[in-house]
Amino acid sequence: MQPESTPMNPSSRKTWTGVKSRSMPAMLQSRDLYFTPPALATPNPTVKTESSGTDTGQVLMRPYRTFVDVQEMLDAKEQMFKNQDKAVFELFGRVVYSSRENFQKKQYFQFRSLLKEQPPYINGTLVHWEVGSPQDIAAQDFLKKRPSHAKCFCRCKLKQDPRAKTGWVVIVLEIRQSGWKEIQKVMDTLGRKDLDEPTSSSGN
């Protein structure tokens, strides 16, 4: 059974106010919108993973699809990819909770942003893995108890769900642990300076 998401307080929404692209669609320039697409330093870079012996692929770093903030990912889906069911996103975030049903091959996750210990939280599910596969082994890591929320890389799709507080749920395609070394490379490529700012969770 999945945990209930924590209610989101709209007034607590925050977003990165980085450099806006001149080629950004006019609808995204409005100050009333929360999503500011990240400015990529290179057109289509890839970042090598630092996974522990499991070959689960590289980070593709596609424009407007790689995120460290859950709200920014949701806003991108709403504003740019709402009618694209097959749109794939990459999230560097934290796993708040995970549980598994081995018989039905379902593993449940609750995600939050990488650097913000605050809503929105979003639920996700990984299904139909092959027992003993790299996908299976990497996902099992999140079943272990930890003193803090585990950092993760998640390749996923978003599906609308009226029962979810965010209106969306995550369909997990791939998930594995990540670390600050890999995350710093990603942040540098995205042109983000979040890690240079003191946060309550940046040291874990």
CB half-sphere exposure, 112, CA atoms < 13 A = 17
Range 153-174 average pLDDT:
97
Q: Answer with the residue of higher pLDDT: 34 or 127.
A: 127
Residue 25 confidence (pLDDT) above 80: no
Question: Is residue 19 very low, low, confident or very high in pLDDT (cuts 50, 70, 90)?
Answer: very low
CB atoms closer than 10 angstroms to residue 200: 10
Residue 9 confidence (pLDDT) above 50: no
**Average pLDDT in the chain:** 77
- Element at 162 (helix H, strand E): none
- Cα–Cα distance measured from residue 118 to residue 51, given in angstroms and rounded to the nearest whole number: 27
- Cα–Cα distance measured from residue 127 to residue 123, given in angstroms and rounded to the nearest whole number: 14
Provide the pLDDT for residue 191: 85
- Cα–Cα distance measured from residue 55 to residue 77, given in angstroms and rounded to the nearest whole number: 28
Provide the pLDDT for residue 67: 95
pLDDT tens, position by position, 128-152: 999 999 999 999 999 998 878 999 9
* 62, 114, 142 from 21: Cα distances, Å: 15, 23, 36
Residue 51 confidence (pLDDT) above 70: no
State pTM to two decimals. 0.72
The CATH homologous superfamily of the domain defined by 37-196 = Nucleic acid-binding proteins (2.40.50.140)
Residue 22 confidence (pLDDT) above 70: no
Q: Enumerate the domain spans of the chain.
A: 37-196
Q: Answer with the residue of higher pLDDT: 176 or 197.
A: 176
DSSP conformation letters of 78-123: HHHSTT-TT--EEEEEEEEEEEEETTTTEEEEEEEESS--SS--EE
